[in-house]
Amino acid sequence: MDATDAITGTIFAGCKVMGKIGQGGMGSVYKARHEALDKVVCIKLLSPELAREQRNIDFFLREARSAAKLEHPNIVQVYNFGQENGSYFIVMSHVEGKTLSELVAEKGPFDAAQATEMIIGVLEGLAHAHSKGIVHRDIKPANILVGADRIPRIVDFGLARSISEEKQLTLAGEMVGTAYFMSPEQGLAGKVDARSDLYCAGATYFYILSGQYPFEGKNSIEVIHKHISSPFPNIILLKPDVPLWVSSVLEKLMRKKPEDRYQSARELIDDLKKRRDGQESSSLEKSFDIPAITARINAPPRPAPIETTAPLVDDLNAKTTGAAPAPDGASAGVQPAASLNLARILLHGALTLTAAGCFIISGASGGATGSLSAPFLHSPLTAGFFAVLGTAVLVSALVLKPLKFTLQRALFLAAAAVAAYAGGACIPAPETAGSMAKTFLALQIGLKNAFSSANLLIYAFFLYLAASKIVCRGNWIFKITAAAAYLLSLFFTYTYFRGAFAPEPEKAYFAAAGILAFTGILSAAAAKEFSLFFNPPLFFLAANLLVFAMFTNPAVSVITDEKERVEALRATQENSLAMAQYRGRVRAAESEQQYDVDGNPLEKKILIPPEEIKPAARGELAGKARAQYYTQLGLKISRDLADSAGVLLIALFLLLMANFCFIDELFAVCRKDETFS
């Protein structure tokens, strides 16, 4: 029997030792009952072999001192430490559970929601430790214990160091930590602070999500070298169902330079909660391939409705008016023209889609930076070649136009090219990914999130554009379609802003938006041509703006109330401080008597109390609150576009609008030719 096992069944450090439950690098761990506290605890004993060296004793006791300073639900609590019967010990709380590494080995990787909750708990414990000046330096799944209550707790502060501690137990140039989860500065034996713990937490987050280490190698040296110099792998390539924002957080969390990472655990916790709460409902959905929908998305635009095509006008009139159809010879004469028009429509759709693909590849040639200028800095030849090729293909599409130059279609095509380029450039991808790999990743992410709620504003905007394009047509099918598109656009706008901040909307704005929508439907039914005042697009644009306002004002009011509370507290504190200083000056003046040159006492000066500091006016705070709300909303929209590849969806809709304009022009020419034939 091992010498340390002799304590089983005895009283040690005020605890009844029940048995050995584990063996670690520093010594043995026993389960015991603390007699004074009457609770089950753990006793950690330093190995007798290690206790022969003073440096090991110092490490062991430093763990005890570090952990004893901390009292937090996400950190195992230390009750006592010291030396008894020649053995150094630490008495700490007992957690009935398993480590994260054991849970991953048994049940496999966590899903995104579970992993995020676990890592937030770990970060809460780290935030508390960092606030006390303690850096753990060995955060890893094996040091995170999860009890039956599903609360993660940090253990093993054996490598922890107080930032204010003068005595350095690590030798110059000595690395501390575990290679698979070690930060680059630890691998270089450099200065370590709280940001190193965040890097280790990021590696832990990656592991419990994927079941793999961020970097692997044949030995520790190779793994450490990869932490220092190799690009961080994209979690989406290993686990495609992980939300894009998780990949973004991991990429920032595990940057090589500490100054480029999150700067505190609290900053990271806030970002995780904000992204989780804003994206979980849509980003954590599973992706299913629905062939019919996918084929419909990728298919060229369909021709305009039958009633607008010249070749079928006679036949349609014959069915609706009873007139005789055209002779067989005349019908046969128009068939080649109809076939030619169909071919031109298909060719135009193919050219615009090809041009968009070229611009996506051009944007994707910029590596993993996500900057719009990166493609021409990173791979100027590839980016320039595909940009020129895409421009040439767009010019070819413009040559097919049946009428003279139309600014509307040209603007749609130019905007689609810019959106496709931006979509390729902004998609997160590994630094080692080539242009084609990043292009396919962009298309994959775009298809996966095509029906995500994060893209509701995009659908609302393009439904509005499409409805405005057809609302003045005389055909009732177009009018009903336009009215339905307008209402659906309004509903999407309402749903998006309701989900963005979820305030209670103002009923007055809601009623006004409903009245404008109803007026817009009436004007759509009556409109036969553009009217400056009785204008359906104008009514529905105003209705959408009112939907935005109905959520904006309550949200701004909530932010203003919070700012007003903080401002009132600040004014109260400053007034209290000013009055305390004033009373101090009064007491000093009363205790000191001053005399003139003749020795006569001078009259004491009367000190004027300080003026009351008043908090800022609500109007001023409301302006700041509104600016803060618009900033938050802008960040949410830009984050939605980046995480869901919404920019590619914008490019697709712009191409559809350009093709619709082309078909509209083509049929207009056909009608004109039919009229003058």
- What is the overall mean pLDDT for the chain? 78
Span of 149-158, 176-185, 238-247, 436-445 with lowest mean pLDDT = 436-445
Span of 142-156, 191-205, 238-252, 590-604 with lowest mean pLDDT = 590-604
- Who has greater pLDDT, 57 or 530? 57
* pLDDT value at residue 167: 39
Span of 71-80, 130-139, 332-341 with lowest mean pLDDT = 332-341
* CATH, residue 21: 3.30.200.20
Instruction: Kindly give the pairing relationship between strand 15-23 and strand 11-12.
Output: antiparallel
Q: Is 391 in the same domain as 466?
A: no
Residue whose tokens read 């000190």: 607
What's the rounded Cα separation, in Å, for the pair 291 and 297? 10
Q: Which is nearest to 419 in space by CA: 112, 127, 130, 642?
A: 642
In a domain, 536, yes or no: yes
Cα–Cα separations (whole angstroms), residue 284 to 93, 150, 246, 452? 36, 21, 10, 10
Q: What are phi and psi of 569, to 5 degrees?
A: -65, -40
What's the rounded Cα separation, in Å, for the pair 642 and 65? 46
Q: Is 434 in the same domain as 448?
A: yes
Q: What is the pLDDT of residues 44-67, one digit of tens each?
A: 888 888 888 888 888 788 777 877
* pLDDT value at residue 293: 39
In a domain, 240, yes or no: yes
Q: What is the pLDDT of residues 343-365, one digit of tens each?
A: 888 888 898 889 888 888 888 88
CB 388 within 8 A of CB 395: no
Span of 84-93, 125-134, 464-473 with lowest mean pLDDT = 464-473
Q: Is 79 in the same domain as 167?
A: no
Provide the CB-side half-sphere exposure for 569 (13 A, CA): 6
In a domain, 463, yes or no: yes
Q: How confident is the model at residue 301 (pLDDT cuts 50, 70, 90)?
A: very low
Q: Is 316 in the same domain as 401?
A: yes
In a domain, 598, yes or no: no
Residue whose tokens read 């450099």: 190
In a domain, 198, yes or no: yes
- Who has greater pLDDT, 282 or 202? 202
Q: Is 121 in the same domain as 238?
A: yes
Q: Is 326 in the same domain as 244?
A: no
* pLDDT value at residue 281: 41
Q: Is 432 in the same domain as 512?
A: no
Q: Is 194 in the same domain as 268?
A: yes
Local structure of residue 473 (DSSP, 8 states): -
Please state the domain count of the chain.
Answer: 4
| Domain encompassing residue 354 | 290-452+644-677
Share of the chain above pLDDT 90, in %: 14
Share of the chain above pLDDT 70, in %: 78
In a domain, 528, yes or no: yes
Local structure of residue 601 (DSSP, 8 states): B
Q: Is 385 in the same domain as 311?
A: yes
- DSSP strands (E only) in 24-164: 27-34, 39-46, 78-84, 87-93, 97-99, 134-135, 144-147, 152-154, 161-162
Q: Is 299 in the same domain as 255?
A: no
Residue whose tokens read 């908090």: 615
Q: What are the tokens at 34?
A: 């603390």
Could you give the strand order of the β-sheet that contains 78-84, starting from the edge strand earlier in sequence?
Answer: 11-12, 15-23, 27-34, 39-46, 87-93, 78-84
What's the rounded Cα separation, in Å, for the pair 18 and 21? 9
* pLDDT value at residue 481: 85
3-state secondary structure 515-566: HHHHHHHHHHHHCCCCCCCCCHHHHHHHHHHHHHHHHHHHHHHHHHHHHHHH
Cα–Cα separations (whole angstroms), residue 237 to 438, 445, 457? 11, 11, 28
Q: Is 148 in the same domain as 295?
A: no
In a domain, 600, yes or no: no
Q: Is 557 in the same domain as 429?
A: no
Task: Write down the pTM of the prediction.
Answer: 0.43
* pLDDT value at residue 656: 86
Cα–Cα separations (whole angstroms), residue 567 to 76, 507, 556, 611? 38, 30, 16, 17
* CATH, residue 125: 1.10.510.10
In a domain, 599, yes or no: no
Final residue of a domain: which of 225, 250, 283?
283
